[in-house]
Every structure is written in C-alpha cells, then in structure tokens.
C-alpha cells in the first residue's frame, strides 16, 4: 500500500499564534488578579481543602468562581486556545495557603478549563516540577526532574498549566516560541526542510509505555489538519528513541530540519522569556507553542527550593487533531485526550513530588 504524502498547509499560516517577540508586551499576556478575585479563589481553595475529598476528582462544581470564572473562561478561550497560545495569571500568594490549599486552588482553577490528564506512569494528575537530582542522560528520566535546561518541547496534552510555589535562586525562566512562526520561517528559508517535519518521526516514551504500547510513539513534528496547525516536539526524546534497534537513525534531511528549527527557536527575535514569580499561573497551548525552561541554581535550604505545580488539561473546546495523535494521546476526542496511558482508578493528586 502506497503511503500518502502528509497534508501540508497551503502557505504561511496566519493568525495571532504566529507571533514574534516584538509583537507582544506584558500588557498583552499578563493578567493581574484583583483583590476580590484573589479572595474568591482563596475562599474556594480553603473550603475545598477542608472537605474530605480526593483532590484527583475535583470538578468545577467543587470550586465555585461566580465572579472570576467568567474572566478565566474568556482568557482561556480567546488567548490560550484561539489566540497567541498563552497567558499568565498573577496575584495569588502561595504563602497564605497550606500545601493542600495551594493544590486545591490550582486543581480548582484547572477544573474550570478542562479535564485532568495523567502526567506519568504513576498516574499523577498534579505534577511537581522540581529538581529531584535526576540526570538528563538517564533514558528513564524526565527533564523536569532536573535543574538543567529543558530545551524547546511540547507536553503530551492540549494545555499545560504551571503554578509557581517557589522560584529558583537564579534562572529557571520560562521561554516560549510560536511553533507556527517556526513553520512559517522554515517554509520561507528551506521549504524542503519544513516539509520534512510533516513526516512521522519516532519519539521515546522514556520508560512510560503502557502494556501493549511500543516504547516510542511516531507523530510528525508539524501537523496540519482541518485548517489547524499542531506541533509535537522533544528533541532529546527523538534522539533517545534511536536506542531501540527497531527505530532507524535520523536521515540527513530530518537532522537538518530539526537543526534549523532549533536554531530559529534560539533566535531572541522569535522567543519570549518570562520570569516566574510566586503565585504565577501560566497556561500554554502545546499545539501552537514550544516551551522551554532555562537552567537554574537552587536555594541550599530544602524549604526554599524551586517548586512548581503542573496540570495537563484536555479542554472540550480544543482544536481538532489528526488521528495520528491517538498514538500518544490515547484518543483525539476533545476533553478526553492526552497524558500517559494509566487507568483512571490509579489517578492521584499527590501533595508531594
């Protein structure tokens, strides 16, 4: 059976997600919470945390936001899903809440945006981004468990949310680049290399394959489906997938295309760097953005070390995806896709890393 050529966009992809750094200012993406909104979130968090409830099962109904909920929904829809692809909420103070109350606040806000998806083979729907001393060279380690730079990548979900409990002593900045802009730039400079990234490529699951799954998945870096662009990328995991005998070496064209894309992402004219302040909540659309984290130096005191909470979310309003994404997302049905394959009865919202 002859393999069909990949579907390609008809030309450069327009729209608000095709941004460059100079196109944006903090006034565009930073949303300061009012004292009334902070009070509403804190009250809902304290009430939820006080209940004898498994936080893994939190719903929007468990976390009423009668005033802020409308603004939150608009930011998520207009900016994250249909706009530039990201937004930052600022104004919460994690020091005013207990560990369980902070988890309740983040999970409660997330429940208004989409369904939770498991982030690892342990079924964690509340992730902890902190340095656990893992080596980036360990093929079973995830890069968020180290203090090293992550490099530009996507997570295996529609939207990733990060809530900063404690920032690093130095470094650890969030960096965002439009994968739509990377496509457009590559198409203008080297259309043959841009086209090469629409072909399937193997990516390592890093030891988190479920029974019956291969230890890698095969999804193109660039995808075009039903008038929507979707990127899927993690260079280190593409490289480490070559450790399996069944996975062929990268071709010269694939390596040249990935090298060009990485070089473009490193261009300060294209990417945007953002400091995490305590209480910041960042929402990122994985289909139109690649995100990165710079290396960081942590505090010596354990109680001060960098610590972010993370959610992988599946919004009902998310864009259509090609069927190939089911290999990693389980399904392409909005609201039920993404994450690591773990039975729902094993999902947990651990308060510790």
How do residues 276-305 score in pLDDT, each as one tens digit? 999 999 999 999 999 998 776 765 777 778
- pLDDT tens track for 169-181: 766 789 999 999 9
pLDDT of residue 246: 97
pLDDT mean across residues, the chain: 92
Confidence bin at 145 (pLDDT 50/70/90): low
pLDDT, mean of residues 130-144: 56
pLDDT of residue 4: 57
**Which single residue is written with the structure tokens 């984290």?**
293
- pLDDT tens track for 75-84: 999 999 999 9
Distance CA 232, CA 157 (A): 10
- pLDDT tens track for 26-72: 999 999 999 999 999 999 999 999 999 999 999 999 999 999 999 99
pLDDT, mean of residues 122-131: 91
Q: Is the dihedral of CA 206, 282, 99, 135 positive or negative?
A: positive
pLDDT, mean of residues 178-206: 97
pLDDT of residue 136: 53
3, pLDDT greater than 60: no
DSSP 98-145: -HHHHHHHHHHHHHTT-EE---STT-BSSEEES--S--TT-TT--GGG
Domains and CATH numbers, the chain: 27-346 (3.60.130.10)
Which token pair is 223? Answer: 């995808």
pLDDT of residue 306: 85
Its pTM stands at 0.93
pLDDT of residue 343: 94
For the chain, the distance separating the N- and C-terminal CA atoms, rounded to the nearest angstrom, is 47
Which one, of 59, 64, 48, lies nearest residue 101 by Cα? 48
Distance CA 48, CA 58 (A): 9
- pLDDT tens track for 232-276: 999 999 999 999 999 999 999 999 999 999 999 999 999 999 999
138, pLDDT greater than 70: no
pLDDT of residue 168: 79
Q: How many helices (H) and strands (E) in the chain?
A: 9, 16
Q: How many CB atoms lie within 10 A of CB 200?
A: 15
Crossing angle, helix 35-50 and helix 68-75, to 10 degrees? 100
pLDDT of residue 147: 60
């Amino acid at each position: 059976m002859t393999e069909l050529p990949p579907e390609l966009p008809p030309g450069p992809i327009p729209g608000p997600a095709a941004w460059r750094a100079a196109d944006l200012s903090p006034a565009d993406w930073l949303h300061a919470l009012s004292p009334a909104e902070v009070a509403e979130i804190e009250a809902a968090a304290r009430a939820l945390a006080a209940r004898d409830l498994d936080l893994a099962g939190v719903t929007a109904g468990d976390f009423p936001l009668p005033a802020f909920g409308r603004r939150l929904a608009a930011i998520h829809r207009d900016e994250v899903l249909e706009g530039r692809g990201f937004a930052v909420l600022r104004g919460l103070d994690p020091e005013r809440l207990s560990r369980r109350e902070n988890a309740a606040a983040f999970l409660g806000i997330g429940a208004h945006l989409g369904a939770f998806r498991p982030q690892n083979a342990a079924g964690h729907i509340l992730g902890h981004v902190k340095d656990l001393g893992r080596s980036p060279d360990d093929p079973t380690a995830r890069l968020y468990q180290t203090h090293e730079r992550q490099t530009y990548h996507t997570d295996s979900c529609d939207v990733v949310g990060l809530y900063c409990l404690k920032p690093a002593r130095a470094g650890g900045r969030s960096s965002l680049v439009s994968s739509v802009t990377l496509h457009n730039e590559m198409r203008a400079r080297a259309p043959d290399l841009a086209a090469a990234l629409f072909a399937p490529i193997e990516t390592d699951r890093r030891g988190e394959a479920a029974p019956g799954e291969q230890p890698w998945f095969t999804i193109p870096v660039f995808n075009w489906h039903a008038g929507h662009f979707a990127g899927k990328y993690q260079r280190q995991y593409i490289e480490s997938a070559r450790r399996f005998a069944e996975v062929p070496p990268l071709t010269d064209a694939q390596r040249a295309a990935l090298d060009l894309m990485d070089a473009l992402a490193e261009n300060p004219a294209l990417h945007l760097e953002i400091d995490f302040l305590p209480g910041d909540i960042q929402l990122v659309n994985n289909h139109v953005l690649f995100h990165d984290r710079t290396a960081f130096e942590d505090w010596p005191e354990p109680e001060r070390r960098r610590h972010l909470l993370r959610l992988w979310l599946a919004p009902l309003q998310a864009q259509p995806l090609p069927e190939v994404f089911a290999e990693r997302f389980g399904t392409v049905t909005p609201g039920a896709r993404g994450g690591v394959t773990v039975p729902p009865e094993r999902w947990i919202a651990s308060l510790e890393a």
